[in-house]
Amino acid sequence: MTTTPQPPRITDIGPPAYDKFLPPIVKKNYGLWKYHENVAPGVLCHVAESGDKLYTVRAASPRILAVQTIRKFCALADKYCGGYLRFTSRNNVEFLLTDPANIAPLKADLGKLGFPVGGTNNSISNIVHTQGWVHCHSAATDASGLVKSVMDALCDRFTQENLPAKLRIAVACCLNMCGAVHCSDIAIWASIACRRRFNTLFCPNHGRSQR
């Protein structure tokens, strides 16, 4: 048996090291941030002990993203912030900038694409919701259309900071409640209130088993 040290094995098991994708300014000041301040609705500034400043522009995004949407986000990240962005636990997309001069044009481009900027401080954060009919077999309703209808009506509460406090809304499509409704201020929850009926013309075996 050889005793020669072997090089580290390359594997795709598990996630990559978290610091591999951090922006350089975050790596430099990791654990050394002093405070953050609100610049405008949807725009934050984190200040490090070194004096470095990191600006965050937060925009709403659909929970279920098309490839075309992801490519649009990546193009904006390449254009304004060195390719760095992140997604929050409530489906917001955040662009991480070091140059404050890029904030206004980035917000303008997001507006042209139809993605509102906001969701910080005393406002509604983006709605977190369950899978709905896209992936889940036990969903009593679909989530995507319901969430879009609610946020269309409350969009001004996302782009403005005029609520008494931060507000979080969640949607759960069934009793499993995997949409974080237990840790939200307002929960929209769907359940099947009556026994499902089957058309025995198309499901003859099911009808026979119920007799």
Q: What is the pLDDT of residues 138-173, one digit of tens each?
A: 788 888 888 889 999 999 999 999 999 999 998 888
User: Where in 32-189 does DSSP place strands (E)?
Assistant: 33-40, 43-48, 53-60, 85-87, 92-97, 128-129, 169-172, 186-189
What percentage of the chain carries pLDDT values higher than 90?
55
User: pLDDT: is 190 or 205 the higher one?
Assistant: 190
Say yes or no to pLDDT of 209 above 70: no
Q: How confident is the model at residue 196 (pLDDT cuts 50, 70, 90)?
A: low
Task: Give the amino acid at 1.
Answer: M
Domains in the chain, please, with CATH?
Answer: 15-119 (3.30.70.3340), 122-211 (3.30.413.10)
- The answer to whether the beta carbons of residues 71 and 63 sit under 8 Å apart is no
User: pLDDT: is 148 or 93 the higher one?
Assistant: 93
Q: How confident is the model at residue 86 (pLDDT cuts 50, 70, 90)?
A: very high
- The answer to whether the beta carbons of residues 173 and 142 sit under 8 Å apart is yes
Q: How confident is the model at residue 65 (pLDDT cuts 50, 70, 90)?
A: confident
Instruction: Work out whether the CA dihedral 110, 126, 120, 17 comes out positive or negative.
Output: negative
**Average pLDDT of span 42-60:** 97
What percentage of the chain carries pLDDT values higher than 70?
89
